[in-house]
């Protein structure tokens, strides 16, 4: 049986759909690659800034690498797990007591301004 979407001399409807999907996939792959490149560049700048801050602190305050590593472990453990990341849980609104996300500047229930966690 012949596929009605495939006609002689061309790709037909099915072929055009496959071509459009492939074009979309290539476009999405380029966008993702571009985003990954940008994130890597930002990560490089952030790592350089952290290193600059660390070397200033080490020189000015006489801290050691061990001090830095100990503090990293302490911060990692602040959520109860030594896993290379910190999970920041929700907080309670100081006015109404409801649970709110750390990223919001105000309580979504009562509007109370909430102290922002700079690392959330
Ligand atoms: Zn509230």
Q: Which long-range contacts (CB under 8 A, 24 or more apart) does 76-85 make?
A: none
Mean pLDDT, the chain, as a whole number? 88
The string of pLDDT tens digits covering residues 42-66 is 999 999 999 999 999 999 999 999 9
Residues with CB under 5 A from ligand 1 (ion): 93, 95-96, 107, 109-110, 112
| C-alpha 12: how far from chain center | 42
Tell me, what's the pLDDT at 11? 66
Tell me, what's the pLDDT at 40? 97
If you measure from the C-alpha of residue 91 to the centroid of ligand 1, how many angstroms do you get, rounded to a whole number? 11
Tell me, what's the pLDDT at 42? 96
Contact present, 114 and 91 (Cβ < 8 Å): yes
Alpha helices (H) in 1-120, listed in sequence order = 12-61, 65-76
Q: Name residues of the chain where pLDDT drops below 50.
A: 1, 8
If you measure from the C-alpha of residue 120 to the centroid of ligand 1, how many angstroms do you get, rounded to a whole number? 19
Tell me, what's the pLDDT at 5? 54
If you measure from the C-alpha of residue 76 to the centroid of ligand 1, how many angstroms do you get, rounded to a whole number? 29
What are the CA-CA distances from residue 2 to residues 9, 69, 99 (Å)? 14, 68, 62
Contact present, 99 and 91 (Cβ < 8 Å): yes
């Amino acid at each position: 049986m012949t596929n009605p979407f495939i006609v002689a001399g061309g790709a037909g409807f099915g072929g055009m759909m496959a071509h459009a999907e492939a074009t979309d996939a290539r476009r999405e792959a380029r966008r993702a690659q571009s985003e990954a490149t940008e994130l890597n560049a930002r990560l490089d700048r952030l790592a350089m800034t952290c290193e600059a801050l660390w070397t200033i602190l080490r020189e000015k305050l006489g801290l050691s690498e061990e001090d830095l590593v100990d503090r990293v472990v302490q911060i990692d453990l602040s959520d109860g797990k030594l896993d290379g990341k910190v999970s920041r849980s929700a907080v309670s609104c100081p006015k109404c007591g409801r649970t709110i996300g750390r990223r919001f500047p105000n309580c979504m229930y009562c509007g109370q301004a909430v102290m922002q966690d700079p690392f959330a």
